[in-house]
Amino acid sequence: MDNYSARPSPSGSFEKEILVQLRIGIIGAGGRVMDTILPAIWALGNKAKLLQINTQSSRPVNLPDGSSIITKDEISSISLKDYDVIIIAVGTSNIRSVLDELSRKKHRDSVTLVMDTPPLRLSDYWKTNLFSGYKGVAVGEDWITLSPILAMKNIINSGRIGDLRHIQFDHMSYRYHGLAALKLLASVKTVSSMRRVPMGNNFYETRVTLKQNVTATAIEPRDYVNGRIRITGTKGTISDYAICTNKKSDFQFGYVDTKKGWYQPFSINGEIQPMDEVETYMASLPYNTLHDGSRINRFKIRAYARLLEDIARGFANYPIWDGLYDYLATAVAEKSGHFKDISLSNNQNSLVRRLIKRGK
């Protein structure tokens, strides 16, 4: 069986072992933290350790192992030299004040910030210099590391479906998260254009030109239970529903609905994909300890854990400039109906991306 789940690291070689425990702090304790981020840290076992959570007012927070932690209400209590990663998961109106306070601290160059999405309020884009001075700044965009999305990416890269032509997200994406996944699948950092068309009854169709000869369509609203994906190449297709072609170059994904453990299995052409070390550990954890045990969130837990693993290995698959670009492009398309960019370097850079980075 071809293992399309095996994932090379961003450097091109297969994932290297993590030798140092990642020391993590979190600012914020809302639904995103409780549903996905905390379980992702726990899924890494002894590869990661939560040191502290900061919230606006001190309070107890239940942890995935049944224990609890008392949060601290002063960001001034954070000594950056004690951390490898600080995750910022607060409302957009509070992001800038948190960044302002952190920017006055010493030892920023030893810490990687992980911004939740969206990474900054649009009215604060002129303050992107707040991201300077850190060892790295990434965005916690889990859609680009969802196990099925990565497997689809591997199939595209293998050439088994020929040249990529079109990606269809049918109620299977949400705003900038969907755009990030589309760009990953098409191997681009920017897009040529986006057009968002209202279809009535709160339905929207976003049409994206990713690069020459490669387009995409995303239909909203999202419905992760019934939504579907189809990817078309010149020789075959990838889909998570039945397409009656019976070609050897067609790949059908399936999802195994189970409430045994944290891990969410999936199959390709009927073959359950093998688990790695983290996924094996997740499968051993009790399902009823999850705040959100839905299929998509279990995929997201593994995906977020994968983002943290990459940081431990010295990589950031989705740096801050990617997150800022996707949020801006989506916001412009939603407000005006259109987004247009001028591609540079075969869609690996663009005029808009350069303008965003000028605030650095």
Helix (H, G, I), strand (E, B) or coil at 87: strand
Residue 234 sits in a domain of what CATH number?
3.30.360.10
What's the pLDDT tens digit per position in 275-317? 999 999 999 999 999 999 999 999 999 999 999 999 999 888 8
For residue 246, pLDDT over 70 is answered with no
- pLDDT digits 0-9 by tens, 189-201: 999 999 999 999 9
Interval 166-180: pLDDT, tens: 999 999 988 999 999
pLDDT, one tens digit per residue, over 93-119 is 999 999 999 999 999 999 999 999 999
Q: What is the pLDDT of residues 213-242, one digit of tens each?
A: 999 999 999 999 999 999 999 999 999 998
- Asked if pLDDT for residue 6 goes beyond 90, the answer is no
Q: What is the phi/psi pair of residue 43, to 5°? A: -65, -25
- CATH number, domain of 105, equals 3.40.50.720
DSSP element (H, E) containing 43 = helix 38-43
Task: Note whether residue 287 is domain-resident.
Answer: no
**At 14, is the pLDDT very low, low, confident or very high (cuts 50, 70, 90)?**
very low
> Looking at the domain assignment, is residue 266 inside a domain?
no
| Prediction pTM value | 0.94
> What would the mean pLDDT of 259-284 be, rounded to a whole number?
96
The domain of 186 spans: 144-255
Long-range contacts of residues 209-212, Cβ cutoff 8 Å, at least 24 apart: 210/167, 210/182, 210/183, 210/186, 210/347, 211/186, 211/343, 211/346, 211/347
* In-domain check, residue 231: yes
**What is the pLDDT confidence band of residue 15, given thresholds at 50, 70 and 90?**
low
Question: 140, 165, 180: which is the final residue of a domain?
Answer: 140
pLDDT score at 249: 82
